[in-house]
Amino acid sequence: MNKILAISLLLSLCASSANADVKPHGMFNDHAVLQRGINIPVWGTAATGEKITVSMNGQTVSTVAQNGQWEVSFQPMNAGGPYTMTIQGNNTITLNDIMIGEVWLASGQSNMERQLGPRRGQQLLTNWLEEKKNAANNNIRMITIPLKTNSNPQTEIKADWKVCDTTSVVEFSAVAYFFARDLQAKLNVPIGIIHSSWGGTPAEKWISKEAMMANDTLVQGLMKADEKRKSAYSGLYNAMIAPLIPYGIKGAIWYQGESNRNESTLYQTLFPAMITDWRSRWKLGDFPFLFVQVAPYKDMTPEIRESQLISYQRVPNTAMVVTTDCGDCKDIHPVNKQPVGYRLSLGARALAYGEKIAYMGPVQTSVKRSGNKLVLGFDHAQKGLQKNDALKGFEISAGGDAFVPAKAKVKGKTVVVWSEELKAAPVSVRYGWSNCMDVNLFNKDSLPASPFRVKL
């Protein structure tokens, strides 16, 4: 009996000793990038009552662990580094090569998850070897969150920040890397990417259960989904988003929608609700949310692109990247990822950093009839639309679902659409309204127009 008691006491003392060690959250390790210009939260675990002192870049902050948890906050810092962070409690941890710069969350499904290097079962990305050869940049870092799901919100992750070089970049999200590369070249500050995506996942897995259950439209809509989808709701949010909060970020980039193509109407509610949910939980205001409209593909219906367009129009401080010119009708994973990253960087430069630049392609905003023609007005065409005597992808109707191919021409910042086939006055027009469209409307900044449909 005494022997058993002694062993139990020893195990208890060992556990107590282990719990006494101060430990930072898994987001804080060597090579991390922290968000400039805001209070910088740093947190982790320690024994209750243990005094924790954290120092970096001339600042020192202290707290006392409560219920095994601790959190401190540095005052805002300017971009710079590398710095050393020291975390001291009953033990001392030193983190090296910490940078202060701009941090972006990159999430979604397979077109965001796809790494720069080869992936089994998928085509090689355009020019990937040359991109790899020229990738070394100490001011670009990425942390990739492990693929996990959970029925309850988690607090911890295990992942490492990687400095961008010719070896590490092969496993970087290609879209996120091109976004970071183009943004870093303009801002000339460190860029950190938190990459948390999973191929084949619908948006309902990325929203919290609380936000989902508070929305009757979402609850009823998902009840109609199959059993596997219903049982998922919030699994990826719990394991791959919740543990990241409140790590300081500037905004988010998102490439997803393919797995929701059969619930396009529901997506008009689901996607904005997810954006609102993330923003409310980070408590950083309506941070910029930049997303990619799904690319042309033989099985990708136009209604899901319309739902993404509607989401952009309804949700403030968002930008949508149109990909009508860089898709692949035969491959749901188009290989030309460079334009996607570049266009996301334009959205960041405009919305997050205040540059007065064109950052989106034309978005249809108005329609009126002029005789037997319809005249369409557009936003994001400040310099006008590209002149083209052979505009493609327009269809027109005098009513109902009977559309015929239409002629179209640019007139100033408008497009005039007509067809001699119509025997009655036109009432509706659509553009790029197919799974895999052949279209060529651009603004003078060479950014493509979003597909749309509109009725008088």
Give me the mean pLDDT over the 188-201 stretch. 98
pLDDT reading at 9 higher than 90:
no
Residue 19: pLDDT band (50, 70, 90) is: low
Q: Would you state the pLDDT for residue 406? A: 97
Q: pLDDT by residue (tens digit) across 290-346?
A: 999 999 999 999 999 999 999 999 999 999 999 999 999 999 999 999 999 999 999
Q: Would you state the pLDDT for residue 234? A: 85
Q: Would you state the pLDDT for residue 228? A: 54
Q: How far apart are CA 379 and CA 443, in angstroms?
A: 10
Q: Would you state the pLDDT for residue 12? A: 44
pLDDT reading at 232 higher than 90:
no
Give me the mean pLDDT over the 44-64 stretch. 98
Residue 15: pLDDT band (50, 70, 90) is: very low
Q: pLDDT by residue (tens digit) across 137-150?
A: 999 999 999 999 99
Q: Would you state the pLDDT for residue 389? A: 82
Q: Map the chain to HEC letters.
A: CHHHHHHHHHHHHHHHHHHHCCEECCCCCCCCEEECCCCEEEEEECCCCCEEEEEECCEEEEEECECCEEEEEECCCCCEEEEEEEEECCCEEEEEEEEEEEEEEEEECHHHHCECCCCCCCCCCCCHHHHHHCCCEEEEEEEECCCCCCCCCCCCCCCCEEEECCCHHHHCEHHHHHHHHHHHHHHCCCEEEEEEECCCCCHHHHCCHHHHHCCHHHHHHHHCCCHHHHHHCCHHHHHHHHHHCCCCCCEEEEECCHHHHHHHHHHHHHHHHHHHHHHHHHCCCCCCEEEECCCCCCCCCHHHHHHHHHHHHHCCCEEEECCCCCCCCCCCCCCCCHHHHHHHHHHHHHHCCCCCCCCCCCEEEEEEEECCEEEEEEECCCCCECCCCCCCCEEEECCCCCEEECEEEEECCEEEEECCCCCCCCCEEEECCCCCCCCCCEECCCCECCCEEEEC
